């Protein structure tokens, strides 16, 4: 009886270790890198290990990738205080008539679309956000702050379903959150 039990434990442990090594890496946020340049808080960040996006876009599904960069002030006895946020949206799709991928975004009130022949050529622009100007430090109170980055992926087309099934589908398909190390502003 002891040998059957020990053999079962060995087989289960082997199965659990083999399945954990076979899973692909999950998407992660790199950074956020926070720098103060000319009294402006500048943030750079990116995401890595996003799998399956190319296949979805090739099948005709448009995607929206939203980067939300928030500045938060820490408090000792109170909850942390939200200061300001910037939202960067990227729209990704495939134009079957042109046989090209496209990436659209809005920056400074101007809507821009770029076309690419290769998805790999477009990846750095999709998954990287550079030079996000959060706020001038002269307008901030002295204290300890940190930057929180939230990345969400959504489908731009809604699948038409009947009745309540539409409300059961999640709007956000991927959601990642990461915070920077705290930094001090002022005395």
Q: Choose among 138, 36, 127, 132: nearest CA to 90.
A: 127
Which residue is associated with the tokens 């809604």? Answer: 158
Query: Around Cβ 92, how many Cβ atoms within 10 Å?
Result: 24
- Residue 17's contacts (CB-CB under 8 Å, 6 or more residues apart) are none
Per domain, the residue ranges of the chain are 28-185
pLDDT in tens, 7-36: 555 555 655 554 444 455 678 888 899 999
- Residue 90's contacts (CB-CB under 8 Å, 6 or more residues apart) are 64, 65, 66, 67, 103, 104, 105, 125, 126
pLDDT in tens, 113-137: 999 999 889 888 888 999 899 899 9
pLDDT in tens, 54-101: 888 888 888 899 999 999 999 988 899 999 999 999 999 998 888 899
pLDDT in tens, 48-62: 877 888 888 888 888
The whole-angstrom separation of Cα 181 and Cα 166 is 39
pTM above 0.85, yes or no: no
In terms of Cβ atoms closer than 10 Å to its own Cβ (0-12, 13-18, 19+), residue 130 is: exposed
The whole-angstrom separation of Cα 11 and Cα 7 is 6
In terms of Cβ atoms closer than 10 Å to its own Cβ (0-12, 13-18, 19+), residue 178 is: middle
Beta-strand ranges (E) seen in the chain are: 28-37, 40-48, 63-73, 81-95, 100-107, 110-116, 128-136, 143-155, 172-179, 183-185
């Amino acid at each position: 009886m002891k040998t059957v039990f020990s053999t079962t434990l060995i087989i289960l442990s082997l199965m659990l270790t083999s399945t954990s090594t076979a899973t692909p890496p999950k998407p992660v946020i790199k950074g956020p890198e926070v720098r103060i340049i000319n009294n402006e808080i500048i943030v750079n960040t990116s995401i890595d290990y996003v799998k399956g996006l190319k296949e979805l876009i090739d099948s005709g599904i448009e995607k929206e990738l939203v980067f939300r960069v928030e500045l938060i002030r820490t408090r000792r006895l109170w909850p942390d205080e939200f200061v300001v946020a910037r939202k960067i949206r990227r729209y990704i799709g495939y134009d079957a008539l042109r046989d090209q991928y496209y990436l659209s975004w809005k920056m400074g009130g101007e809507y821009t679309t770029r076309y690419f022949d290769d998805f790999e050529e477009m990846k750095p622009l999709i998954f990287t956000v550079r030079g996000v100007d959060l706020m001038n430090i002269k307008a901030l109170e002295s204290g300890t702050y940190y930057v929180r980055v939230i990345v969400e992926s959504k489908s731009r087309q809604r699948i038409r379903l009947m009745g309540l099934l539409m409300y059961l589908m999640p709007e956000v398909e991927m959601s990642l959150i990461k915070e920077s190390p705290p930094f001090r502003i002022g005395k």
